[in-house]
Structure 1
Amino acid sequence: MLKSINHWTFPKDMPMESVFEHARLAGYDALELNLGQAGAIGPNLASTTTELAAIKRMAESNGILLRSLSCGLMWDHSLSAPQPEVRRRGQEIVSKQLEAAHELGMDTILTVAGYCTDDDTSYELLETRSRETLGNLLPHAERLGVTIAIENVWSKFLLSPTEMAGYVDGFGSSSIGVYFDIGNVMLYGHPEQWIRILGSRIRKIHVKDFRRAVGNGQGFVPLLAGDVKWPLVMKALRDIGYTDTITAEVGAYSSYPLQAVYDTARHLDVLIHGEPR
């Protein structure tokens, strides 16, 4: 498995050259980038082909793989929103995400299928709208050779591994899969069970730890400090034949924020190799 970290862990104002340099010095194999608003550091909605090529060269010069592109913009532009104009904007963002990932040489993007909000008249309508929007995007993904990977988040939608599996299978396309977040599922399930049920549908993995007794967003803690049964989780991943990136999605420290990048690299060594490196 490949040791990876999300760009969000780095200081927000750090230039991309320094981000890649620190990723290399910390011993990462890969870095997950995020599609941001126009003008954001790194790939963003206004990035040109030339700018994306420059980011790709920086990664290559540091020996860092680019395997996936996340996006934090979907909370406000849900693919299942009741408002057609919101869904259209969400579709445009995911389309740009697919194109940027292709230019960067990535094989996967992360998105969220939908959110069950107070505005929704029924769970069934949420699923119908979500399927329609993602169905519109699938031909574009297939042409570009990039997989749309659906992440399990606290969206009150796709709340079991069997439901997630059925949702993905319903598209009948190899260009849609699952981006499984181990920490996110701890509030309502057991990640090792999800992994075995989802199996080859899993295209990428996010790792973070969680303390169930907290029960809210404050329960996310550094790797190895929470309630995830990591030996069981890692065994499940090996049993399904997963060999791709294990991407840490953790926050920067409030003091000396960059230290989180280096500490997390050592935590990932323990998960992947069973001991510190």
Structure 2
Amino acid sequence: MNKGINAWCFPESCSIEDIFKSARDYGYEGVELNLSDDPSAPLPLNMTEGQLLEIKEEAVDAGLSLPSLSTDLLWKYPLTDKDENVREKGIAVVEEMFRIAEVFGAETVLVVPGIVNEQVFYEKAYRRSQDSLQKLLPVAEKAGITIGIENVWNKFLLSPLEMRQFVDGFDSPNMGVYFDVGNVCPFGFPEQWIRILSHRIKSVHVKDFKARVGNINGFVPLLAGDINWKLVTEALDEIDYKGFIIPEIPPHKHFHHPFMGNLTDTMDEIFPFKRQQEDQHE
């Protein structure tokens, strides 16, 4: 497994140079950037290829890879929205992520498959999501990029069996799962999801969760919640997962450096990064 970090773990005031330097200094191997419609964000929409190549070069100079891409824009433009124009905007966002991923050499693009709500019925969301992803899949296959469907709090694909069936229905090695360990906790056990989804898991997000809180305020830093990380790592080992482990945890408002130090130390304690490196050098 590889040790990565999402750019949302850094304060908004951090430039992309700050993010890469800090990630390198704290021992990370890769950074996951997030596509945004905020022009001041580290990775805004509509960057030129030259600008993207500059970002890649900065990452390489820092000894980092850019293994995957994320975005919050698919909450704004869901692939299951009842408005076809909104769905098309969501498709365009993912296509833009493919373009960026090709330049970066990223293997996985995180995709929220859709949202179910009072206006969007579940069965219609299922069909719309399939239709949207069918349009995107040939582009991903041509680019050699994997679409990673993430389990999020979207009232959609609520069990590992359903998610497995959904992914397998595309019959493509370029369709997989971006598994978020913390997100599954209110309605399942992450180690069970991991074993059921198995080789379909292409990347992993981590954060902890306090069950007694039970809502979005229950997300906490690693080892501050109720997740049995020993069972999680055993399940990942059982499916022979070799991809990135990427925390997606908001930074501390006032003490960023202690936060980063605790995060990297905790990740090294939970996951076998150092042990794997030692084995490779023996």
Q: Note whether the superposition's TM-score is higher than 0.5.
A: yes
Structure 2 residue aligned with 1:23: 23
Q: Distance in 2 between matches of 1:146 and 1:275?
A: 28
Structure 2 residue aligned with 1:136: 135
Structure 2 residue aligned with 1:211: 210
Using structure 1 for the length normalisation, give the TM-score.
0.96
Structure 1 residue aligned with 2:247: 248
Are the aligned partners of 2:114 and 2:125 in contact in 1 as well (CA < 8 Å)? yes
- State how 1:146-225 maps to structure 2 within 5 Å: 146-225=145-224
Are the aligned partners of 2:2 and 2:273 in contact in 1 as well (CA < 8 Å)? no
CA drift of 1:123 comes to: 1.4
Q: Distance in 1 between matches of 2:94 and 2:273?
A: 36
Comparing 31-40 with 174-183, greater Cα deviation is found at 31-40
Comparing 184-193 with 32-41, greater Cα deviation is found at 32-41
Are the aligned partners of 1:43 and 1:100 in contact in 2 as well (CA < 8 Å)? no
Q: Distance in 1 between matches of 2:11 and 2:257?
A: 7
What's the secondary structure of 1:243's corresponding residue? coil
Structure 2 stretches of 5 or more lacking a match? none
| Residue identity opposite 2:111 in structure 1 | T
Are the aligned partners of 1:39 and 1:46 in contact in 2 as well (CA < 8 Å)? no
| Residue identity opposite 1:255 in structure 2 | H
CA drift of 1:66 comes to: 1.0
Identity rate, percent: 43
CA drift of 1:16 comes to: 1.1
Are the aligned partners of 1:252 and 1:258 in contact in 2 as well (CA < 8 Å)? no
Deviations 1:123-178 (A, max 9, x none): 11110001000100011111111111000000010000000000000011111100
Runs of 4+, deviation exceeding 3 Å: 274-277
Aligned residues: 276
What's the secondary structure of 2:256's corresponding residue? coil
| Residue identity opposite 1:150 in structure 2 | I
Structure 2 residue aligned with 1:51: 51
Are the aligned partners of 2:112 and 2:150 in contact in 1 as well (CA < 8 Å)? yes
RMSD across aligned positions (CA) = 1.5
Q: Distance in 2 between matches of 1:8 and 1:15?
A: 12
Q: 1:2 to 1:128 in 2, by over 3 A?
A: same
| Residue identity opposite 2:163 in structure 1 | M
Q: Distance in 1 between matches of 2:161 and 2:64?
A: 35
Q: Are 1:271 and 2:270 matched, yes or no?
A: yes
Are the aligned partners of 1:10 and 1:258 in contact in 2 as well (CA < 8 Å)? no
What's the secondary structure of 2:191's corresponding residue? helix
Are the aligned partners of 2:29 and 2:65 in contact in 1 as well (CA < 8 Å)? yes
CA drift of 1:42 comes to: 2.3
Q: Are 1:106 and 2:99 matched, yes or no?
A: no
| Residue identity opposite 2:211 in structure 1 | R
What's the secondary structure of 2:230's corresponding residue? helix
CA drift of 1:260 comes to: 2.4
Deviations 1:199-234 (A, max 9, x none): 000000000000011010110111011110000000
What's the secondary structure of 2:31's corresponding residue? strand
Are the aligned partners of 2:69 and 2:97 in contact in 1 as well (CA < 8 Å)? yes
Are the aligned partners of 1:38 and 1:46 in contact in 2 as well (CA < 8 Å)? no
Deviations 1:19-43 (A, max 9, x none): 1111011011111111111523322
Deviations 1:219-265 (A, max 9, x none): 01110111100000001001100011000010111212343222211
| Residue identity opposite 2:157 in structure 1 | L
Are the aligned partners of 1:13 and 1:41 in contact in 2 as well (CA < 8 Å)? no
Are the aligned partners of 2:8 and 2:250 in contact in 1 as well (CA < 8 Å)? yes
| Residue identity opposite 1:174 in structure 2 | P
Structure 2 residue aligned with 1:75: 75
| Residue identity opposite 1:83 in structure 2 | D
Q: 1:166 to 1:268 in 2, by over 3 A?
A: same
Deviations 1:38-94 (A, max 9, x none): 523322211110111011011111111110000011111000101101101000001
Deviations 1:90-128 (A, max 9, x none): 0000100111111111010001111101112x3111100
| Residue identity opposite 1:99 in structure 2 | R
| Residue identity opposite 2:225 in structure 1 | G
What's the secondary structure of 2:188's corresponding residue? coil
Structure 1 stretches of 5 or more lacking a match? none
Q: 1:227 to 1:275 in 2, by over 3 A?
A: farther
